[in-house]
Amino acid sequence: MSAPGNAMDSLSAALKCNIIPNQEYLLQGSVLDQYVEVLLHRLRGLCDNVDSGPESFHDHELCFSLRIANTGATTPMSVFSLRVRRALDVSDTPYQLRYIGQQELGDKNRPTVVRSSIDMACSSTIVDFLTELGCRVDFEYIARGYMFRKGRMKITVSKIFKMGGNKPGETVEPISQSYLVELSVLAPSGQDAIAEDMRIFAEQLRPLVQLEKIDYKRLGNIM
């Protein structure tokens, strides 16, 4: 029994020392299909992985949600969501389980959205495991595109597809005429300096892409 205890101890120690990269700094935007080549070209010039070319990916993401009823009738039940991502183009890669917390927009002076994020690799049985836990698939999509790196920053340019049938691999259709562009960094909390670097990098992609802080709550009202 000592081993798990030790693991928990070292985890909490790591948390205390603030070395776990559990904060995601995020900016989002999009680019129309016909200009994506221009954007990719520019990113190739700006980013680190110049020689190897852009890294492509083709992923399937499932978003699970677990509803936990709170005791007491006045409080609404809380929804807890987890994301499972798997590569469709490369077999024998692990699945990725990801928790994304509430996003904090902060005030005007903060250049990016900050949200807590925990990633881990797992095996394909995670889907069954989550289902057994009582999680239900909330929605799913397929993302296909390119990934770039610039220092600690990660830039993804991806097309989002809606699943056609109930099973992946059947006909998929793009949900818009644009590519989703995301600029993100995973860092331990309190490293706000990186956000400034991201703002500067985002400036370099204008006016091709407007990378911005996007408020999910406001989106919910608009659409």
Partner 1 sequence: MQQREEKQLDSALESIIQRVNDLKQSIAAMIFKLENEYETMNWPSFLDNYALISGQLTSLSKVMSHDKCPVLRNLTVLPLMLSPERDEQLAQTTEHRVTTFAHDLVPDYLRTKLEPLAETKMLQLENKAVGLQYDNAQKQIATYQKVVSHVWDIVSKAREEWEVESSSRGNTQQNSSVADTHLLVAAVGMGKGLKMNPNGQANPTSGGMMVAPSGRPGGAPGQGQIPPTTQAMNKAPSAIKTNIKSAAQMHPYGR
> What does the binding site for partner 1 look like in residue numbers (CB under 8 A)?
28-32, 35, 38-39, 63, 65, 67, 69-70, 73, 76-77, 134, 136-141, 143, 160, 162-163, 175-178, 180, 207-210, 212, 214, 216, 219-220, 222-223
Shortest Cβ 218–partner 1 spacing (Å): 9
Shortest Cβ 103–partner 1 spacing (Å): 8
Among candidates 99, 61, 74, 103, which has minimal Cα distance to 220?
Answer: 103
What is the phi/psi pair of residue 122, to 5°?
-155, 175
End-to-end CA distance of the chain: 51
Indicate the residue among 106 and 174 with the shorter CB distance to partner 1: 174
Shortest Cβ 59–partner 1 spacing (Å): 11
Indicate the residue among 15 and 79 with the shorter CB distance to partner 1: 79
Indicate the residue among 165 and 190 with the shorter CB distance to partner 1: 165
Among candidates 219, 167, 200, 218, which has minimal Cα distance to 27?
Answer: 200
Indicate the residue among 177 and 189 with the shorter CB distance to partner 1: 177
**Contact of 141 with 172, CB cutoff 8 Å:** no
Alpha-carbon span 160 to 167, nearest angstrom: 16
Shortest Cβ 161–partner 1 spacing (Å): 10
Question: Residue 127 corresponds to which amino acid?
Answer: V
Indicate the residue among 2 and 75 with the shorter CB distance to partner 1: 75
Structural tokens at position 207: 């006016």
Shortest Cβ 195–partner 1 spacing (Å): 18
Structural tokens at position 127: 């889907």
Indicate the residue among 19 and 32 with the shorter CB distance to partner 1: 32
Shortest Cβ 106–partner 1 spacing (Å): 17
| Other CB atoms within 10 Å distance of the CB of residue 196 | 12
Q: What's the Cα-to-Cα distance from 139 to each of 30, 60, 157, 161, rounded to whole Å?
A: 21, 11, 21, 12
| Other CB atoms within 10 Å distance of the CB of residue 112 | 28
